[in-house]
Amino acid sequence: MDDRRLLTGMHFMNGDEACAEGALAAGCSFFGGYPITPSTEIAEHLARRLPEIGGVFIQMEDELASMAAILGASAAGARAMTATSGPGFSLMLENLGLAVMQELPCVIVDVQRGSPSTGLPTMPGQSDVMQARWGSHGDYEIVAYSPWSVQEMFDLTILAFNTADRYRTPVVMLCDEVVGHMIERLVIPPHEQVEIWNRKKPKVQGNGSFDPFRAQDPDLVPPMAHAGEGYRVHFTGLTHDEHGYPEMSAETHHALVTRLVNKIKVNADQIIRTEDYWLEGAEIVVVAYGCSARSAQRAVREAREMGIPAGLLRLISLWPFPERLFEELSEKVGTIIVAEMNLGQISREVQRVTRRPVTGVFHAGGEMIPPEPILNAIREAAT
């Protein structure tokens, strides 16, 4: 990859373009995708930029093939990404499960729109949250980040690639149309200042006694040998043993799936990202993410100016869910309000963990939730 063509310094661009530049800064060298509003600008940007730095862009015939392409590229050693929106994400979910089973790092960017079905292609939504968590079949854990600014579209894309490689897992960027299409200032650091977490590599040379799916470290992540590096590597979606070959027994299946789930759970504290505002002494807490958190921040600030002890907890990572944080929060505050551009997806998780009623400020999509209904909910809770 030609680092000389990477951008640095201050720029003004939309969130989709910032995501594409974040992928390049992270070392992404392969993009396989299919155009779909409102994520198409990511593909368009990378179609131009990837060849400039020695990478590969390929438009596949559909979203199923797009996921298959990035998994193949990942197995060969590339940092690989695709981008889509809700309908395309639905088609990718079978191969998302394949990525989990094969432990192939990759990044899937979902710029959400009004849904279900074709819905509102050019208007925002946040209703793919549970789809990202439970959309593929079987037991698995997923990592998903939710940016609220153009800068975070860049920064979290880098984090998504790093997390994918560190834990050998697919990572989802759950963006929304508002953040994807808004234009803001973006500061890109010098390339040498971008932190890169590399994949864990085998300690033995050549094939030897290397077992590509044996996890011997506390993080439960096995080292990864790429196809063509001199190791015997076999990938399958079937239940497999530590050599990577099919093993059709209940015991092997239980052990494998349990490790795949636990490698995210035991590392959750390192994966989870949140940000809070005015939580000290808050009796009412608003929970929000993505573009909805921007409205929530203003609503909470205005509530504070009115003398209402409100605070904001912004979820930067949606999955794994920060259960411990909410358990602690439920012991300190009186009311929890969740603002999200769906009819109550994260709110169900908050209610499950806190075991208390949660006030929701919901909208099914199509327009950004303004600060006023969130502020009204805060004022009602304060009375």
pLDDT > 80? residue 265: yes
* pLDDT one-digit tens code per residue, 221-246: 999 999 888 888 899 999 999 999 99
Distance of CA 81 to the CA centre of its chain: 12
pLDDT, residue 207, reads: 61
- Considering Cα of 369, then 371, then 375, then 378, what sign does the dihedral take? positive
* pLDDT one-digit tens code per residue, 56-89: 999 999 999 999 999 999 999 999 999 999 999 9
pLDDT > 80? residue 2: no
Arithmetic mean of pLDDT, 242-267: 97
Which domains occur in the chain, in start order? Answer: 3-193 (3.40.50.970), 276-382 (3.40.50.920)
Residue predicted with more confidence, 209 or 346: 346
* pLDDT one-digit tens code per residue, 127-157: 999 999 999 999 999 999 999 999 999 999 9
**Do 366 and 125 meet the contact criterion of CB atoms below 8 Å apart?**
yes
pLDDT, residue 209, reads: 73
- Considering Cα of 185, then 32, then 259, then 220, what sign does the dihedral take? negative
pLDDT > 90? residue 205: no
* pLDDT one-digit tens code per residue, 298-344: 999 999 999 999 999 999 999 999 999 999 999 999 999 999 999 99
* pLDDT one-digit tens code per residue, 98-121: 999 999 999 999 999 999 999 999
pLDDT > 70? residue 208: no
Arithmetic mean of pLDDT, 186-213: 89
Angle in degrees, 0-180, between the axes of helices 323-330 and 346-354, rounded to the nearest 10: 60
pLDDT, residue 301, reads: 98
Mean pLDDT score of the chain: 96
pLDDT, residue 4, reads: 75
- Quickly state the pLDDT bin for 178 (edges 50, 70, 90): very high
- Quickly state the pLDDT bin for 206 (edges 50, 70, 90): low
Arithmetic mean of pLDDT, 167-172: 98
Give the whole-angstrom CA distance, residue 26 versus residue 16: 15
pLDDT > 80? residue 1: no
pLDDT > 90? residue 255: yes
Arithmetic mean of pLDDT, 178-182: 98
pLDDT > 80? residue 3: no
